[in-house]
């Protein structure tokens, strides 16, 4: 089904299911036997609703009284202010103009009422989580800053420009409707391989799934054991190599590591048959074998990020079961292996929707990256959707030039069979955490067989991999694990350059089942987790050896220059 801005079926269906949950909770939906409504539920709901409404009306009265006193110059403490960090109402009119101030505070008060209303409903946690999420979408969509007539900045700009800003905004809107997606950055401002993904290196292997990049050394001596990075296949790898100042790749090579990077292919129709096992065996496992061979090392160290970490962990469990010991240590960056609390992404996953996807693309086809990109934008709609709507369509501004948003907009497709298997077995049924429940590449998978030293990073404000879910990896692997909790979110918490020494991270030697108990006993350290990680890795990287001047090997000769052509392919 084609919808504006690549809105996927899961999003529309999620709204409908949230509405059904609301009607059922209020007793307005028919009973299961179709014989009228649930009177008991309706009476209970009526009581809760009356109590909430009474409190809301009292707060509205107090707000009106506050505005009247403020207009008369009388000091009053009854006002409502946005949450810290909410920049929607930064214009002075929202504070100094009585009409705008009342509009802002009414919106904030009504938003609070909607949130309280949902929390008061008697629903199971999964249904309530879905209703919370879609209520938040509606609340954020209805902000007065999103409309021409109620945004003072928009009105002022339109007046000063004699309407030209509105005309430019309409042009921007029509262009985005034509392309089918919301523009979040200037997509012509960067070129992959020229402005981003600029670290020197070469492609030393490729198959239908990925290219393997080896980066040129930056030191005269390097560690004997190389580092292989397996990024997520739902995004492109160059988030780890945006620009020199914030490149994780550059940081690693400058600390004497020989770095290999998996660059996943952006699937087209010809790749519609690839499944999860292909990504594990012909992706991660093949890359491990080749990186070790080229380096001539006894073992290698590996890093996986997000779903790349899930693929990598699956591969390691298989290798350890087969008696393969060519990996010395594993680092997981914001990775979920236990999916019991999947965060907001879980609102899009249920049996009905998963079965529908299996019927349409489960045996062959492509899940479009533009649809997945829309889903990720809704997880942070206040930052990624509505500010762009205001700037692009209401103010008529050109999109900003920002490397991180350029990467975010550079979406990737997924093979249908791989996507459907992943959604069912991870998000829906949470099978990976159960020993030997899944068989991959002909081998039963038990994460407990991963007895390697492990560095597990989560981030405090992660909206994709909740840190408490990432913490549970410490109870799945059987080796010594160092769990680190970084500040910020899924991307900014990982890409936190050591040179800038910003933010902080939390550490603790204690191990307990409860993530909250771990955090209560953890110590906060200033700066980037990168420095902690590189120090942790040194014992597993072995002694230094002279750096090779030639990339690749006789068996795997170097080919095209990094970043290779796979990463430059745009999603259709």
Digit-coded pLDDT (tens) for 285-339: 999 999 999 999 999 999 999 999 999 999 999 999 999 999 999 999 999 999 9
Where is average pLDDT lowest: 82-91, 532-541, 558-567? 82-91
pLDDT digits (tens, 9 = 90+) for 177-218: 988 888 989 988 999 999 999 999 999 999 999 999 999 999
pLDDT digits (tens, 9 = 90+) for 460-519: 999 999 999 999 999 999 999 999 999 999 999 999 999 888 899 999 988 888 999 999
Please answer whether residues 152 and 91 qualify as being in contact, where contact means their C-beta atoms are separated by less than 8 angstroms.
yes
pLDDT of residue 6 exceeding 70, the answer is no
Please answer whether residues 172 and 183 qualify as being in contact, where contact means their C-beta atoms are separated by less than 8 angstroms.
yes
pLDDT of residue 3 exceeding 60, the answer is no
Q: What whole-number distance in Å separates Cα of residue 257 and Cα of residue 235?
A: 24
Please answer whether residues 367 and 414 qualify as being in contact, where contact means their C-beta atoms are separated by less than 8 angstroms.
yes
Mean pLDDT of 533-554: 94
Entry pTM: 0.91
Please answer whether residues 261 and 213 qualify as being in contact, where contact means their C-beta atoms are separated by less than 8 angstroms.
yes
What integer pLDDT is reported at residue 84 of this predicted model?
Answer: 85
Most confident of 62-76, 116-130, 424-438: 424-438
What integer pLDDT is reported at residue 57 of this predicted model?
Answer: 84
pLDDT of residue 408 exceeding 80, the answer is yes
Please answer whether residues 209 and 264 qualify as being in contact, where contact means their C-beta atoms are separated by less than 8 angstroms.
yes
Among residues 225, 210, 211, the alpha carbon closest in space to that of 256 is found at 225
Mean pLDDT of 264-280: 97
Please answer whether residues 485 and 460 qualify as being in contact, where contact means their C-beta atoms are separated by less than 8 angstroms.
yes
Retrieve residue 146's tokens: 């999103």
pLDDT of residue 35 exceeding 60, the answer is no
DSSP line for 379-441: HTHHHHTHHHHIIIIIS-PPPP--HHHHHHHS---EEHHHHHHHIIIIIIT--TTSTTS-EET
pLDDT of residue 114 exceeding 70, the answer is yes
Mean pLDDT of 42-67: 75
* Strand 259-264 with 481-486, pairing: unpaired
- Where along the chain do its domains lie? 4-142
Retrieve residue 537's tokens: 């890795």
Active-site option among 114, 306, 420, 512 = 306
What integer pLDDT is reported at residue 62 of this predicted model?
Answer: 82
What integer pLDDT is reported at residue 501 of this predicted model?
Answer: 82
Peptide bond between residue 465 and the one before it cis (omega within 30 degrees of 0): no
Among residues 461, 440, 162, the alpha carbon closest in space to that of 311 is found at 440
Whose structure tokens read 């199971």? 124
- Which residues touch 214 (CB under 8 Å, ≥6 apart)? 201, 202, 204, 258, 259, 260, 291, 294, 551, 552, 558
Mean pLDDT of 147-173: 96
**How big is the chain, counted in residues?**
572
What integer pLDDT is reported at residue 25 of this predicted model?
Answer: 59
Q: Return the higher-pLDDT residue of 135 and 124.
A: 135
Rg (CA), the chain: 26
Catalytic site includes residue 306: yes
Cα 214 to the chain's mean position, in Å?
26
Mean pLDDT of 131-145: 93
Task: Round the average pLDDT of the chain to a whole number and report it.
Answer: 91
Among residues 537, 527, 522, 531, the alpha carbon closest in space to that of 487 is found at 527
Task: Count Cα neighbours of 459 within 13 Å in the Cβ-side half-sphere.
Answer: 24
Where is average pLDDT lowest: 4-18, 161-175, 215-229? 4-18
Q: Return the higher-pLDDT residue of 292 and 42.
A: 292
pLDDT of residue 163 exceeding 80, the answer is yes
Please answer whether residues 285 and 207 qualify as being in contact, where contact means their C-beta atoms are separated by less than 8 angstroms.
no
Q: Return the higher-pLDDT residue of 476 and 378.
A: 476
Please answer whether residues 118 and 132 qualify as being in contact, where contact means their C-beta atoms are separated by less than 8 angstroms.
yes
pLDDT of residue 5 exceeding 70, the answer is no
């Amino acid at each position: 089904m084609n919808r504006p801005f690549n809105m996927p079926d899961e999003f529309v269906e999620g709204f409908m299911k949230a509405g059904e949950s609301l009607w059922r909770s209020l007793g307005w939906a028919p009973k299961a036997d179709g014989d009228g409504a649930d009177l008991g539920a309706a009476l209970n709901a009526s009581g809760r609703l009356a109590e909430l409404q009474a409190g809301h009306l009292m707060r509205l009265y107090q707000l009106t009284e506050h505005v009247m006193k403020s207009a008369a110059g009388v000091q009053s403490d009854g006002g409502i202010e946005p949450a810290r960090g909410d920049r929607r109402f930064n214009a002075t009119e929202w504070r100094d103009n009585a009409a705008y101030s009342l509009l802002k505070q009414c919106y904030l008060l009504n938003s609070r009422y909607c949130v309280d209303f949902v929390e008061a409903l008697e629903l199971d946690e999964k249904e309530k989580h879905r209703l919370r999420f879609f209520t938040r979408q509606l609340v954020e969509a209805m902000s007065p800053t999103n409309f021409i007539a109620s945004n003072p900045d928009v009105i002022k700009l339109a007046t000063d420009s004699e309407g030209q800003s509105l005309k430019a905004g309409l042009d921007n809107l029509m262009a985005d409707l034509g392309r089918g997606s919301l523009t979040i950055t200037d997509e012509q401002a960067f070129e992959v391989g020229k402005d981003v993904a600029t670290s020197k290196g070469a492609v030393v292997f490729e198959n239908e799934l990925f290219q393997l990049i080896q980066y040129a050394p930056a030191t005269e001596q390097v560690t004997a054991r190389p580092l292989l990075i397996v990024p997520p296949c739902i995004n492109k790898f160059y988030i780890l190599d945006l620009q020199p100042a914030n490149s994780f790749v550059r940081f690693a090579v400058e600390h004497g590591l020989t770095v290999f990077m998996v660059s996943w292919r952006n699937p087209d129709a010809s790749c519609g048959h690839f499944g999860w096992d292909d990504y594990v065996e012909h992706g991660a496992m093949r890359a491990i074998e080749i990186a070790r061979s080229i380096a001539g090392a006894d073992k290698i160290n590996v890093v996986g990020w997000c779903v790349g970490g899930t693929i990598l962990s699956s591969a390691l469990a298989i290798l350890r079961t087969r008696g393969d010991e060519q990996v010395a240590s594993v680092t997981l960056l914001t990775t979920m292996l236990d999916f019991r609390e999947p965060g907001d992404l879980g609102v899009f996953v249920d049996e009905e929707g998963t079965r529908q996807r299996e019927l349409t693309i489960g045996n062959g086809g492509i899940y479009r990256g533009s649809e997945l990109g829309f889903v990720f934008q809704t997880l942070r709609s206040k930052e990624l959707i509505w500010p762009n709507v205001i700037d692009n369509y209401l103010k008529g501004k050109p999109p900003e030039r920002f490397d991180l948003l350029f990467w975010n907009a550079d979406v990737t497709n997924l093979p249908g069979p791989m996507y459907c298997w992943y959604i069912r077995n991870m998000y829906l049924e949470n099978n990976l955490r159960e020993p030997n429940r899944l068989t991959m590449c002909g081998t039963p998978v038990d994460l407990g067989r991963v007895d390697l030293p492990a560095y597990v990073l989560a981030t405090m404000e992660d909206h994709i991999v909740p840190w408490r879910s990432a913490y549970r990896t410490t109870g799945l692997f059987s080796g010594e694990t160092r769990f680190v909790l970084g500040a910020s979110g899924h991307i900014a918490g990982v890409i936190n350059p050591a040179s800038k020494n910003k933010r902080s991270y939390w550490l603790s030697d204690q191990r307990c089942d409860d993530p909250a108990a771990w955090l209560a006993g953890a110590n906060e350290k200033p700066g980037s987790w990168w420095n902690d990680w590189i120090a942790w890795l040194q014992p597993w990287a072995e002694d230094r050896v002279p750096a090779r001047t030639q990339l690749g090997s006789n068996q795997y000769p170097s080919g095209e220059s990094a970043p290779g052509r796979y990463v430059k392919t745009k999603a259709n």
